[in-house]
Amino acid sequence: MVDEKLKERFHEDTESYSSDKGQKEPMIAVLLGLFFPPIGYAYLEAWKFLALNLITLNYLMLGNFLVPIHCYLIIHDARTEEEQQDYEPADTSFDEERF
């Protein structure tokens, strides 16, 4: 029962994670993350990472290096997940009519 609820919750989070972020422009996210790290996360609507960035004082001043890479990876992962959802595997079941 609990596992099903967790799976549903994870599935909802994954859908919202990939649906919007895959449409964002990676170069804009990287540039915003490079010059204004919290704004890069705001552009991607990654509010948890934005809050973490602000609370930890820009990841202890490493944010200017880490945030652009992380913003790019968020977009890349979202696009990869969208491509996998669009992919339909071929029918590999045995069909007697073919033979």
Nearest alpha carbon to residue 47 among 12, 13, 83: 13
At 43 the pLDDT is: 93
Phi then psi for 46, rounded to 5 degrees?
A: -95, 75
Considering the chain, what is the average pLDDT of its residues? 76
Spell out the domain ranges in the chain: 21-87
**Whether this model's pTM surpasses 0.75:** no
Tell me what the mean pLDDT of segment 28-41 comes to: 89
Average pLDDT of the segment spanning 36-50: 91
| DSSP state letter for 34 | H
Quote the pLDDT of residue 6.
45
